[in-house]
Amino acid sequence: MLLTLAALELVTGYAVGVTIGNIPPAAFFSPGGLRKMLPAWVILPLLWFGYVALAIAWRKVDRPLRAMRTMTFQHRHWLLRGIIFTIMAFGLGRAFTAYKSALPKIVPFYADPLFIQADRVIFGTDPWRLTHALFGPAGTLVIDRLYTLWFVVMM
């Protein structure tokens, strides 16, 4: 059931992105998109094998490679679920991006000028100018990357 809903979301996201969002079909399957997901592809297996290595070290096993293989085989269903989840998260992220890029064509951002004015009243200027002045371009890049980490937490 869950896979069916996720597949429906993927197909819908693809259709919305290509038709309304003007996203080229190849953008959904581009190597650049796969590179963006590289941390998730690498971190999950590293966490798993780190956990297994700690468990083996804690038990003081004589043959650690055999124990690692055995533990991996015993938990293969969890690993398979993690792999499927990561693949689905990639596709659903693409679908979300398609929806997001199509929003201005569906409902224009009518409140943006109001929010810009509110920011200027609260901060006295555009907030990005303050962060740029305080942290510089490198600091702004760090803030952007920290914001991107939130997507891993949501996943």
| DSSP secondary structure string for all residues of the chain | -HHHHHHHHHHHHHHHHHHTS---GGGGG-HHHHHHTHHHHHHHHHHHHHHHHHHHHHHT-S-HHHHHHHHHHHTHHHHHHHHHHHHHHHHHHHHHHHHHHHHHHHS--TTHHHHHHHHHHHHSS-HHHHHHHHHHHHHHHHHHHHHHHHHHHH-
pLDDT at 154 (0 to 100): 66
Tokens 């269903």, residue? Answer: 77
Q: Is the predicted pLDDT of residue 70 greater than 70, yes or no?
A: yes
- Specify the pTM: 0.46
The pLDDT tens digits of the residues spanning 91-137 come to 677 777 777 777 787 788 888 899 999 999 999 999 889 888 988 88
Q: At what angle do helices 76-106 and 64-74 cross, to 10 degrees?
A: 60
**Token reading at 10:** 């993927």
With left for phi above 0 and alpha for psi between -120 and 50, is residue 36 left, alpha or beta?
Answer: alpha
The pLDDT tens digits of the residues spanning 33-42 come to 666 666 666 7
Instruction: Let me know: does 94 contact 28? Beta carbons within 8 Å.
Output: yes
Instruction: Let me know: does 31 contact 112? Beta carbons within 8 Å.
Output: no
d(CA 83, CA 109): 37
